[in-house]
Amino acid sequence: MGLTSTPVLALAVTAAVLLFGVTIWQWPRLAGPGWRALTGRIGLFLATQVAVFASVGLAANNAFLFYGSWADLFGQEQDLGVVVDHSAGGKRVKVMGVQSLDVPGGGRPDKGGQIQKVAVEGEKSGIKSPAYIYLPPEYFQPAYARKRFPAAIVLTGYPGTAENLIKGLKYPRTAHELAAKGRIQPMVLVMLRPTVAPPRDTECVDIPDGPQTETFFASDLPGAVSGSYRVGTDPANWGVIGNSTGGYCALKIALHHPDRFAAGAGLSAYYKAAEDTTTGNLFHGKQELRNRSNLLWSLDNKPPAKTSFLVATSKKGESNLKDTLRFIEKVKAPARVSSITLDSGGHNFTTWRREIPPALEWLSGRLTSA
């Protein structure tokens, strides 16, 4: 049974309830003196506490999908990390499996679209990463056989999993529903986490003598996808969106690579690279690299390009409100900036699910097909 499965949660809750009942029932018998009674009291108390904490932890994980599997929870997630396809005319995307969407007609790709589980090899960075690619129904329809679709890279926060984008934030389902209503154009979504050198949080930085994460996202990934799918190659065909760390990465990639991306959207983003025990030494003492990773500094010191930005925050519940307002103020033409400001909303899936539909509409309006 999987970590996020309902039977596992139900089993944990049942165990907690039963142990609580046994504790109440047996406590009078264990109230006497002696090491056996003492050991019994301690054992029941600890077992009940463990069961309760396990139930709460599993419920929280099911709601927010911090971990997608037992292997991920225990730091043993190796899925797809070393599987690369070096054949098929130099294509650098290997399809490992497919799944359908839980939508009407989802069993047929030309009705419900398709999610492909892939491994991507970075030509310049050398990074190999798992990802999920959502292909809309139109991708499989004869009328669109010659069409090259717009695409968006979709990034989770740290240390999230790519499954969060499908199960928790429901990007493919939301895109499918919005397109069916005519509110967005059909788009390909390339979904993955920013942690492409796990367990290190690289903050989408090209680290000196380390993982070249920015190169992977800004150059390798769109190149590999365009070489394997009917996706455009012009900047106007590509956008990037993410939440938290993924939101910071999305804004930074769009800001520094207008030659590859027309738009970037950051939900609950921050505006300079984190530096802590999870990141290690990102800049190796090079202040120019640290400055470049600060988006507010970059807006002040980098010539503006024709790029569109979307930032999202909340008046209550988010810590990025002040810096978000500063970001908006610093964006200068020909760049454009839009914003979503909720009255209240924390740094969590519930908030992001409220922002994703309008963000996808915004993104769709700034991308073109080829």
Q: How far, in Å, CA of 13 to CA of 51, rounded?
A: 7
Among 302, 81, 289, smallest CA distance to 198 is for: 81
Q: In a 10 Å sphere around its CB, with 0-12 CB exposed, 13-18 middle and 19+ buried, how is residue 24 labelled?
A: exposed
Average pLDDT, integer, range 54-70: 68
pLDDT tops 80 at residue 19: no
* pLDDT score for 82: 36
Mean pLDDT, rounded, of the chain: 88
What is the token pair recorded at 257?
A: 């690579």
Work out the percent of the chain whose per-residue pLDDT is above 70.
Answer: 89
Q: Are 243 and 347 in contact (CB under 8 A)?
A: no
* pLDDT score for 102: 86
**Three-class SS string for 217-282?**
HHHHHHHHHHHHCCECCCHHHEEEEEECHHHHHHHHHHHHCCCCCCEEEEECCCCCCCCCCCCCCC
* pLDDT score for 356: 96
Most confident of 13-27, 79-93, 249-263: 249-263
Q: Are 41 and 27 in contact (CB under 8 A)?
A: yes
Q: How far, in Å, CA of 187 to CA of 368, rounded?
A: 10
Average pLDDT, integer, range 110-138: 95
Of 22-26, 43-47, 76-80, 357-361, give the lowest mean pLDDT range: 76-80
| Helix, strand or coil, per DSSP, at residue 38 | helix
What is the token pair recorded at 143?
A: 């009328």
* pLDDT score for 69: 62
pLDDT tops 50 at residue 83: no
* pLDDT score for 67: 62
292-348 residue pLDDT tens: 999 999 999 999 999 999 999 999 999 999 999 999 999 999 999 999 999 999 999
Q: Are 61 and 6 in contact (CB under 8 A)?
A: no
* Topology (CATH level 3) of domain 79-364: Rossmann fold (3.40.50)
- The whole model's pTM is what? 0.79
Cα angle vertex 15, ends 14, 19, to 5°? 120
Q: Are 191 and 165 in contact (CB under 8 A)?
A: yes
Of 9-23, 189-203, 214-228, give the lowest mean pLDDT range: 9-23
Of 24-38, 81-95, 264-278, give the lowest mean pLDDT range: 81-95
Which residues, including other chains, have CB under 8 Å from residue 314's CB and lie 6 or more apart? 321, 341, 342, 343, 344, 345, 346, 351
What is the token pair recorded at 332?
A: 């200068």
Q: What distances in angstroms separate CA 91 from CA 28, 129, 221, 229, one per listed residue? A: 70, 15, 12, 10
* pLDDT score for 68: 59
Q: How far, in Å, CA of 252 to CA of 293, rounded?
A: 7
What is the token pair recorded at 200?
A: 């290190």
Q: Are 172 and 115 in contact (CB under 8 A)?
A: yes
How far from chain centre, in Å, is Cα 38? 48
pLDDT confidence band for 193 (50 / 70 / 90): very high
**Three-class SS string for 105-164?**
CCCCHHHHCEEEEEEEECCCCCCEEEEEEEECHHHHCHHHCCCCECEEEEECCCCCCCHH
Phi, psi dihedrals of residue 284, rounded to the nearest 5°: 50, 40
102-112 residue pLDDT tens: 888 888 999 99
Q: Give the H or E element holding residue 39.
A: helix 35-64
Q: Give the H or E element holding residue 336.
A: strand 336-344
Lay out the sheet containing 114-121: strands in order across.
Answer: 93-99, 114-121, 128-135, 188-192, 151-155, 238-243, 263-267, 308-316, 336-344
